[in-house]
Amino acid sequence: MNIFGFRISPSSAINLDNVDKERFRELCRIEPDAVRCMACGSCSATCPAAGFSGMSVRKVLLYLQRGKEEEAFKLMSNCMLCGKCTMVCPRGINTRHLILSICRIYDKEEKK
């Protein structure tokens, strides 16, 4: 058998039926901007931390929707709360307030 240097990696598929979305629903209820984000990428384009850390509000929201809270918190830890993303958002989302609300709802102390 020929070996071409490739191997099959484990599946990264997420079964969304098994993800607990209760806290994300609570976030959407308290902070409607979480639903209004259209994932245009303007926030990432202007973010001074994005080039070094990959910080992106749209990635954070996507991770939270998929139940990947650890990855979302890892990205949010790089946010400097400078507010540049808020100034360029075409939907007028207050991203700083959104990130602070996420931290409050997804109580980080629970994760330890």
Tokens standing for residue 5: 């240097």
pLDDT at 90: 94
64: Cα separation from own chain's centroid:
6
pTM comes to 0.78
At residue 8, does pLDDT exceed 80?
Answer: no
Amino acid of residue 86: T
Report the residue count for the chain: 112
What's the mean per-residue pLDDT of the chain? 86
Share of the chain above pLDDT 70, in %: 95
pLDDT tens profile 49-78: 888 888 989 999 999 998 888 999 999 988
- Delimit the domains of the chain by residue range: 20-107
104: Cα separation from own chain's centroid:
15
